[in-house]
Amino acid sequence: MVQRFSRVAGTGSCLPGPPITNDDLVARGIDTSDAWITERTGIRARHLADAGQTASALAEPAARVAMAAAGVGPDDVDLVIVATSTPDFVFPSTACLLQARLGVRGGAAFDVQAVCSGFVYALATADLFVRTGQARCALVVGTEVFSRILDWKDRATCVLFGDGAGAVVLVADERPGILASALHADGSQAGILCVPGAIAGGGVIGDPFLRMDGQAVFKFAVRVLDEVAREVVAKAGIDIAAVDWLIPHQANLRILNAAARKLGLPAERVGVTVDRHGNTSAASVPLALDAMIRDGRIRAGHRVLLEAVGGGFTWGAILLEA
Ligand code: ACO
Cα Rg of the chain (Å, integer): 18
Q: Which amino acid is at 220?
A: F
CB 20 within 8 A of CB 14: no
Task: Give the CATH superfamily of 179-321.
Answer: Thiolase/Chalcone synthase (3.40.47.10)
pTM surpassing 0.85? Answer: yes
**Residue of the CA atom closest to atom 34 of ligand 1:** 40
What's the burial of 301, exposed, middle or buried (CB within 10 Å: 0-12/13-18/19+)? exposed
User: Is 279 one of the catalytic residues?
Assistant: yes
Domain ranges of the chain: 5-175, 179-321
CB 162 within 8 A of CB 277: yes
Q: Which residues line ligand 1 (CB under 6 A)?
A: 32, 36-37, 40-41, 116, 155-156, 159-160, 193, 212, 214-215, 217-218, 221, 249, 251-252, 254-255, 279, 309-310
**Residue of the CA atom closest to atom 32 of ligand 1:** 214
| Three-class secondary structure of residue 248 per DSSP | strand
pLDDT tens for the chain, residues 1 to 322: 567 999 999 999 999 999 999 999 999 999 999 999 999 999 999 999 999 999 999 999 999 999 999 999 999 999 999 999 999 999 999 999 999 999 999 899 999 999 999 999 999 999 999 999 999 999 999 999 999 999 999 999 999 999 999 999 999 999 999 999 999 999 999 999 999 999 999 999 999 999 999 999 999 999 999 999 999 999 999 999 999 999 999 999 999 999 999 999 999 999 999 999 999 999 999 999 999 999 999 999 999 999 999 999 999 999 999 9
In ligand 1, the atom with minimum distance to the C-alpha of 218 is 41
| 5-175 CATH, one of 3.40.50.720, 2.60.40.10, 3.40.47.10, 3.40.50.880 | 3.40.47.10
The number of residues making up the chain comes to 322
- Ligand 1 mean position to 12 CA, how many Å? 31
Common-topology check for domains 5-175 and 179-321: yes
**Residue of the CA atom closest to atom 40 of ligand 1:** 214
CB 119 within 8 A of CB 307: no
